[in-house]
Structure 1
């Protein structure tokens, strides 16, 4: 049985940064992108945002496709959106594969381990709910030497429903609410944590990725903090 103190983390973008992907894009296509007036970091983030949208829309429409499959197929479309007139002449399939390899080998944020340690020392059980591949995400925790029991790591692929569909949060919310206490959902994507909070989780949001919480758009989140360790402190204090 789970404890009465539980925190569910989003992984990619929250505990894990996109730096490896951005750096690989810079290395392979950076000079050519800048020659077209496109910042590599902006293209990388636009690619991620477009992939998240199409992944979500496919899931909502009843055609669930794993996130990495969506992302890989959308790169050339994103080049079109950046006004690159002939994307398949500008970049090659080898470039796309190298970028996807980089995405599948992202690294933990330096402060992620401290955040998780603080919560565990305060008696919380830490979980993860990701849209990414389970084996790949397990490898990210292992590389960072952060223990994450296999049974505490869950993917939307298991349910065939993508976040932020309320059904994606439901199984874990139900499981972790059995002890009577509301579990926390923690993320650096405001759309993610706000959706989980509306479903019934307590919400914790870190500005480490998006920098702007936009309460008029997403609503108020229970806990908001600049860094992941500060977010952990907020969760602990609010749970006492």
Structure 2
């Protein structure tokens, strides 16, 4: 029996924070980076954003490669973009392996557990749809002590189509075809939730990551909130 109230969350960047990766870059390479005029957090942001782009472009050209593979391969290119003339002399293979291992240890964003709890108490079933591999993403919730059933964790890897390709969301939406009402998609990435909204989801966006919704580019949203718990409250209120 499909629940009549469902919320599908993006995971990494929304419920899970990037901060641990930025701290790991700083701890491992900080002095070297600053000497070269590179801010560790900015390098980390560029690394994530570029990995998301290349991952999506490969999927669009029918050459799907997992996000983790893309991210691992791109680090030296990020150093090149940052002005390092010989990236592979600047840091070692072991440095990159260390950072990729720390990517597996990201932490739950403040307010995420409360957000999930509020929705469940209000009768919503919580789902997750990620570009990440299910083992890693499931580990984030397990380490944080948040129960997230394996059956409710869904990955782009399963069908080999990256978000935000509209077809990537359709099998998820079809899960709720027999239920009452429209399901919600919730994210801190406007490109993600706005695309889900175009194929039939209601959209809930939190500005906790990007700060500016940029409605003039991405369009309107059913819910916009400054934090995850406030986003949960707004979804609950919108359902009456």
Show structure 1 runs of 5+ residues with no match.
Answer: none
- The equivalences for 1:65-84 within 5 A come to 65-84=65-84
Distance across 2 between alignment mates of 1:62 and 1:197: 24
Alignment of structure 1 residues 117-136 onto 2, 5 Å: 117-136=117-136
Instruction: Quote the offset at 1:128 in angstroms.
Output: 0.2
- Deviation per residue, 1:160-195 (Å, 9 max, x gap): 000000111001101113213100000001100001
175-184 or 165-174, which moves further after superposition?
Answer: 175-184
TM-score (norm 1): 0.99
- Other-structure match for 1:213: 213
In structure 1, the residue matched to 2:137 is 137
Contact 1:20 1:103 in 2 (8 A): yes
Matched residue SS, 1:176:
coil
Whole-angstrom CA distance in 2 between matches of 1:145 and 1:110: 13
For the 8 Å contact 1:190–1:213, the answer to whether it is kept is yes
Q: 1:6 and 2:3 equivalent?
A: no
**Contact 1:2–1:125 (Cα < 8 Å) also in 2:** no
Question: Would you say how many aligned residue pairs link Structure 1 and Structure 2?
Answer: 240
**Runs of 4+ displaced beyond 4 Å:** none
Indicate the residue corresponding to 1:38 in structure 2: 38
Structure 1 residue 120 displacement after superposition: 0.3
Residue matched to 2:180: 180
Structure 1 residue 104, shift from structure 2 partner: 1.2
C-alpha separation between the residues in 1 aligned to 2:236 and 2:39?
39
Kept in 2: contact 1:80–1:86 (CA 8 A): yes
Query: What's the counterpart of residue 147 of structure 1?
Result: 147
1:187–1:205 Cα contact (<8 Å) kept: yes
Give the distance between the partners of 1:159 and 1:181, measured in 2 at CA. 26
Report the Cα distance in structure 2 between the residues aligned to 1:22 and 1:49, rounded to whole angstroms: 13
Which whole-Å CA distance do the structure 2 matches of 1:70 and 1:16 have between them? 19
Q: How does 1:192-211 map to 2 (within 5 A)?
A: 192-211=192-211
CA–CA distance in structure 2, aligned partners of residues 239 and 81 of structure 1: 46
C-alpha distance in 2, partners of 1:160/1:91? 32
Structure 2 partner of 1:103? 103
Residues 177 and 183, structure 1, Cα contact 8 Å, conserved in 2: no
Distance 1:211 1:151 in 2: 32
What is the CA RMSD across the aligned residues, in angstroms? 0.7
Between the aligned partners of 1:177 and 1:81, the Cα distance in structure 2 is 45
